Amino acid sequence: MADQLIRATAAAGGIRAVGVITTRLTEEARRRHKLSYVATAALGRTMSSGLLLASNMKREGSRVNIRVKGKGPLGGILIDAGLDGTVRGYVDNPSVELPPNERGKLDVGGAVGHDGYLYVVRDVGYGYPYSSTVELVSGEIGDDIAHYLVTSEQTPSALVVGVFVGAEGVTAAGGILIQVLPKAATDEALVKTLESRVAKLAGFTPLLQEGKTLPEIFEQLLGDMGLVMLPEVQMLRFHCGCSFERVLGALKMLGVAELQDMIEKDHGAEATCHFCGEVYQASSEELARLIEDLRSESL
Ligand code: ZN
């Protein structure tokens, strides 16, 4: 199934549900960054979370950045997801691998670390991003994002994200976010029922592997609560806005002396985009042109 996002409501608009399938884009991230199994799961869960959080922003061009900074061997995770369905991201140490945890699952919590912080920045495009920080709960990402939603955004929320990665790559990835909006949040029985149903899900990827579609998963969770599926299906993809022009712009900022040095010692320059792993090479001639530009600008 293609990577996609779908929305639904229930309880006469009191419940908002969003689901994403991110199998292909997580596989693309795995290949681009040469991620280990546990790094694939950690980055994939964070990218799915970012897409889910971005989906409830209103203004065109809105983006969400999530930074996870634990003390585990994986180092930090950074993702950038947009309301437009694009996402990109990376981890500091992509080759870190750990033995499975006591439940036989990829040890994302161990790789990220239990101590640390989750930073979420929401940028609606006005130039004043709204940011917020919470302590990590488990480093498993799903719990941490849910904790952020409850404490920072004060919306009762259930979030499940998962990635299944095997020898042949990523075969299932995605997640769901269910939020109880203020008009229904006082209905404690409703919140409790939802919480227990989500808690009973044995993760998200087993459902995908059973062949369940997002509408079927929503039906299972919200079918008796007045579920209304919204017809629009949004496509999702891994996308990075980097370009050779931007790399040249960054190189130019190093200044004449540094550029001269690169020409003499390295006969050019190589730059790798952190977000997507794309490698850009600038020749000596291109660097010489930047020096010319700098000199003519300073006249
Ligand atoms: Zn890039």
CATH number of the CATH domain containing 293: 3.90.1280.10
pLDDT value at residue 53: 96
d(CA 255, CA 250): 10
Cα of 273 to ligand 1 centre, how many Å?
Answer: 5
- For residue 172, give both structure tokens: 């299932």
Digit-by-digit pLDDT tens for the chain (299 residues) are: 799 999 999 999 999 999 999 999 999 999 999 999 999 999 999 999 999 999 989 899 999 999 999 999 999 999 999 999 999 999 999 999 999 999 889 999 999 998 999 999 999 877 778 899 999 999 999 999 999 998 888 888 889 999 999 999 999 999 999 999 888 878 888 888 888 888 888 788 888 888 899 999 999 999 999 999 999 999 999 999 999 999 999 999 999 999 999 999 999 999 999 999 999 999 999 999 999 999 998 77
Same domain, 45 and 10: yes
Distance from residue 257's CA to the centre of ligand 1 (Å): 27
pLDDT at 80: 98
Ligand 1 centroid from CA 30, angstroms: 14
DSSP state of 138: S
Q: In this structure, are 253 and 231 located in the same domain? A: no
Residues 87 and 143 in one domain: yes
Task: Give 246 Cα–ligand 1 centroid separation in angstroms.
Answer: 10
Residue 269 shares a structural domain with residue 286: yes
CB 116 within 8 A of CB 136: yes
**CA separation for the pair 62, 56 (Å, rounded):** 10
Give the chain's domain count.
2
Expressed in angstroms and rounded, the spacing between residue 212 Cα and the centre of ligand 1 is: 33
Identify whether residues 114 and 261 lie together within a single domain.
no
Residue 37 shares a structural domain with residue 92? yes
Q: 223: part of which helix (H) or strand (E)?
A: none
Q: Which domain holds residue 260?
A: 244-298
Contact 201, 207 (CB under 8 A): yes
State the pLDDT at residue 2.
Answer: 92
Span from the CA of 100 to the centroid of ligand 1 (angstroms): 31
CA of 287 to the centre of ligand 1 (A): 20
Q: What is the pLDDT of residue 187?
A: 83
What was the pLDDT predicted at 193?
87
